[in-house]
Chain A
Amino acid sequence: MLLEVRNLHIHYDKVEAVKGVSLSLEQGQIITLIGANGAGKSSILKAISGLIRPSSGEILYHGNRIDRSAPSTIVEQGIVHVPEGRRIFKLMTVRENLRMGAYLNSDRGEITRGIEDVFDRFPILREKQGQAAGRLSGGQQQMVAMGRALMARPKVLLMDEPSLGLSPKLIDEISELIISLRDSGLSIVLVEQNANLALTLSNHGYVMETGAIALEGASQELLHDPEVARAYLGA
């Protein structure tokens, strides 16, 4: 197992946001966490990437515990978190944002090649490389966020609401990107409110309700589950 979360509990002060969640991700798979706002999905991603300390439970990567590690150590091992709301550095240029993605890499040639790869993938960013990233459109900012994550040469991507605020056309582009990344061997944990999209893209799905997993299964099955359809797919 590549990444495993066992019986995770997360508290914010006295409020329990995550109540004993277990997940597992295999190499080359996409798993998704769906559910309403405040169900604890983002908290789980933050715990995996080390931004918050779980109050109990274990997170294992290649069988080693990482739930007490600093974010920098975790990203160094190839787990890269694309946070909710993109969180690009708005005052920095597009190019500087990409450079920050490769912060732990000191090989200049590799960094330059990485930036070129991102520009090949998102040609518009090449044009805008010298502009403050905050001046870009929402879709372009999402490209910066994705590009920055790819600069870290991830093995596992934690994606928090990548479709949020994007037009249908851009959602299609992001979906294609996610599939192509998986096909190139990346493993992905996808958090989404757009359950239809998330279940279409993923292999395995977890439905979260108020901090716990209410339902899990193969994404195709969840997609056709009447309960899921009624509560999350707007059917």
Chain B
Amino acid sequence: MTELLQMGLTGFNLGLMYALIAIGLTLIFGVMRIIQYAHGEMFMLGAFTLYYWHVEFGLPYWLGVVASAVIIFGFGAVLQIVLFRPLHGKNILYSLAVSLGLVLIISSTGQILFGTTVKGIPGPVSGGVLMGGTYLSYERMVISAVSAALIAGLWFFLRFTVTGLAIRAVAEDPDTSALQGVQTKRIHWIAFGLGSAMAAIAGCMMGTLLSIVPTMGFLATIKAFMIVIMGGLGSVVGALVGGMVLGMIDSVVTTTISGDIALILSFVVIFLVLVFRPSGLFGQNWD
């Protein structure tokens, strides 16, 4: 029983982290219809931004999370404007090649700059509470609450702000959005920046809860794609649900069996979902 609670909580934490990365990815795909392979690299850069900010320079933790999100937002927006905008509307293979190139460039540069040793980031709060024999750390609770709030915040942003509406409109029909007066180019860099910032925040969580290395982006990208495809391409709710499912599988199977089996089992679950719902859990197929 206590073990179950512990696994559930870890799964919840991991799930939120996965959901953050996957929502970012689905946002970028939805708006631009590009496959952003270097999304995991944004996750990694976000983690190392917080690491340097908090561990190396000793600056406050939460401000570091904000700084990481803002810096990676800017980085993502610049990448979109400089590299992806000129390729927009052309063969999707071009942007695919660019994003694959970015993976190699960013992760190798990361290894040179940050070194290859595993690093961790001490959390913002310490202590915990013993509940029925299970130790629940405050750190995990706070981080869960903050990331859940961020996801809810993004949902409200997409639902109730004009820019949020425009992002959804461009994702659905760019030409018709332009006819309403939306500057689609502006929406592109905003969505790219926002998606990257979400990955960066997930990276901060990763560094605090687990550990980070400059090569960690690769697996993050793969998992994010698995989640996005399972949840339905372009669907924020799907990415949230998919992230939680994957987080739970990861936590439970890793604890009871092993991490490798967890990864395999995740693929099996996604495979089954796609067999029965080819457009994903929340994929929209109107036409």
- Measured CB to CB, the residues of A under 8 A from B are 49-51, 70-72, 75-76, 80-81, 83, 87-92, 96, 99-101, 103-104, 106, 134, 148, 152
Contacts and interface: CB of A to CB of B under 8 A. Distances in A.
Nearest to A86: B176
B96 interface: no
Contacts of B181: 71-72, 75-76, 103-104, 152
Given A103-B162, A134-B286, A91 B168 contact: yes
A75 B176 contact: no
Nearest to B166: A103
B183 interface: yes
Contact of B176 (A89, A96, A104): A89
A90 B286 contact: yes
Given A99-B165, A101-B180, 4 more contacts: A72-B181, A83-B179, A87-B176, A91-B284
B124 to A, nearest CB: 38
Contact of A96 (B165, B173, B183, B286): B165
Contacts of A71: 178-179, 181
Contacts of A96: 165, 168
A92 B168 contact: yes
A108 to B, nearest CB: 10
Q: Is the interface of B mostly helix, strand, loop or mixed?
A: helix
Nearest to B159: A96
A50 B182 CA distance: 12
- Interface hub of A80, A100, A152 (most chain B Cβ within 10 A): A100
B43 to A, nearest CB: 28
Given A96-B165, A103-B162, A103-B166, A91 B179 contact: no
A49 B165 contact: no
A91 B169 CA distance: 9
- Interface hub of B162, B179, B182 (most chain A Cβ within 10 A): B179
Interface string B134-172: 000000000000000000000000000010011011001
B180 A103 contact: yes
B180 A75 contact: yes
A51 B179 contact: yes
Nearest to A134: B286
Contacts of A101: 180
Contacts of B182: 72, 100, 103
Contacts of B175: 51, 83, 87
A81 B166 CA distance: 17
A219 B124 CA distance: 75
A55 B140 CA distance: 60
26 contacts: A70-B178, A70-B183, A71-B178, A71-B181, A72-B178, A72-B182, A75-B179, A75-B180, A76-B181, A81-B179, A83-B175, A87-B173, A89-B168, A89-B169, A89-B173, A91-B168, A91-B286, A92-B165, A99-B165, A101-B180, A103-B180, A103-B182, A104-B180, A106-B162, A134-B286, A152-B181
A72 B176 contact: no
B169 A51 contact: no
B272 to A, nearest CB: 26
A206 to B, nearest CB: 22
Given A100-B165, A103-B162, A103-B166, A92 B180 contact: no
A32 B172 CA distance: 30
Contacts of B173: 87, 89
- Interface hub of B175, B176, B183 (most chain A Cβ within 10 A): B176
Contacts of B284: 91
Contacts of B179: 49, 51, 71, 75, 80-81, 83
B215 interface: no
For the complex of A and B, list the 3 residue pairs with the smallest distance between their C-beta atoms, beginning with the closest: A104-B181, A71-B178, A87-B176
